[in-house]
Amino acid sequence: MADVSVDKVAEFQNATMPLIEATNTAAMTSLLGMIRSLSYWQIAITLLCVLLVWDQISYQTKKGSCEGPRWKWYPIIGPFLESLDPKFEEYKAKWYSGELSCVSIFHKFVVIASSRDLARKIMQSPKFVKPCVVDVAVKILRPNNWVFLDGKAHVDYRKSLNGLFTKHALEQYLPGLEDIIDKYIEKFVSISKGNDYKPQVFFHEMREILCALSLSAFCGKYITEDQVRKIADDYYLVTAALELVNFPIILPYTKTWYGKRTADAAMKIFEECAQMAKDHIASGGEPICVMDAWAKLMQDAKDKDDEQSRLYHREFSNKEMSEAVFTFLFASQDASSSLACWLFQIVADRPDVLQKIREEQVAVRDGDMSKKVTLPLIEKMKYTTMCIKESLRYRPPVLMVPYVVKQKFQVRDNYTAPKGSMLIPTLYPALHDPEVYENPDEYIPERWVEGSPANAAKKNWLVFGCGPHVCLGQTYVMMTFCALLGKFALYTDFQHTVTPLSEKIKVFATIFPQDDLLMTFKRRDPLTGEVHE
């Protein structure tokens, strides 16, 4: 009976197979005929419709419980045109729309975290995320640059750099920094005098002095004044090349092309400086800059046989040192320039604050204006430090820090960020939290007195980030700006011209006053306060 059933099934299959094949062939022929009957325009429109539907479905799937537009009103490109000219007010509206919000631009899905706790969670989750920059950054900063390392490799490299930013190391850089400050005091006064002390834009000069200070700390006297000026003049090209939205392919005469050319030229200079630093230390010289300190660590490690020395202070090549120093400049230049612009504007607009800074600067020197700036002297500048810290809170140079999601990351109970998306913790709301900082939109240096609620709220102080990628140079920043602001307050009468745009925020990598800082500088006697023209 079983054999009969099998035979009948086989017979049925043999009988129906030609019919099925014929039907399939007819269907395929019909489909091909229909496709052939379509014009190229009809095919293109059909594919476009499929793409648009897929784009919306993909956006909806990734959006989940995040705040954001219900649909992508600009299919595919998203708010691309808005991102070409970012507005602080639009950013702020996004932050306060919900603790998680999103946008989608081309193939990039971006999730913005605006609460303090979510921002900290992201920055402290290296298993799931890593810092990222725009696509072209790898080409400009070079693929082997240490900033693109992840996990243990990144941790180990950072440990090799820690010795460059200890208090002892930083104190060795101070004499060179003070020399730069003195030169620029004369330069700023000369510029104002040449313009009959009329208010003029000092945005570019602030960028130049901060670049000069950074390069002095990094390269010491191995870099010439002409090289410093060239890098300072051209560095904005790197900033422009690394804007959030830029063409990812480097084509001649585009922003990215100019940016890479500038970066390559600067790193070539740094390679030469690295070799000079190695030669200086090898001949018995003392460290006076970051490169010297790095060369000294490498030299000292040669006399040690422990695994840690071999790992952290191996023989770094000039190329590696140059790339690392360029990333230090990349991390500091725009942020420190932003802080300088806001700090000078804020202090100049508040004569009572400026007077207290001046009184403190005279007091810590015991009235002896010949005293050089040292770390112990800076540590006595309590009020000056509070002014700098309050400026960092009031106008934080870095608003957001982009990360890329390495694997699905449950950011909160009802939302998981998809792999490959950008996850951006925002710093501004935590630094303007009214529950921590009373009257957060006012500049109040005294909120930072020892034992105050602001000082106690360590979790809100996200100016320098947190987690494994916390800023290496935060002590350097406070030290440099205490020296900078202190000497300018003593030796110059600097005044700011207020315009309707002075308190408006312009976003260019970091933030600046929209009127580009209108100021004038005159010579001032540090003891009598007498102003000279």
* CA of residue 7 relative to chain centroid, distance: 76
- Please state the three-class secondary structure of 227-286 as a single string: HHHHHHHHHHHHHHHCCCCCCCCCCCCCHHHHHHHHHHHHHHHHHHHHHHHHHHHHCCCC
Cβ atoms within 10 Å, residue 9: 10
The residues, ordered by sequence, that sit 6+ positions from 363 with a Cβ below 8 Å of its Cβ are: none
- CB atoms under 10 Å from CB of 40, counted, come to 7
How many whole angstroms separate alpha carbon 381 and alpha carbon 42?
73
Measure the CA–CA gap between 44 and 442, rounded to whole angstroms.
56
Residue 471 marked ligand-binding = yes
Residue 319, Cβ density class (10 Å: 0-12 exposed, 13-18 middle, ≥19 buried):
middle
Q: What is the DSSP letter of 418?
A: P
3 state SS of 375: helix
178 close to 483: Cβ distance less than 8 angstroms:
yes
> Do residues 312 and 458 lie in contact, with contact meaning Cβ atoms separated by under 8 Å?
no
Name the E strands within 119-246: 129-131, 200-201
Find out whether 386 and 446 touch, Cβ atoms under 8 Å.
Answer: yes
The total of other beta-carbon atoms located within 10 Å of residue 529's CB is 12
The DSSP-derived string for 87-106 is BHHHHHHHHTT-SEEEEEET
Which residue matches tokens 């379509």?
38
Q: Distance between CA atoms of 531 and 494, rounded to whole angstroms?
A: 10
CA distance 409 to 6: 55
Residue list for the binding site for heme = 471
Residue list for the binding site = 471
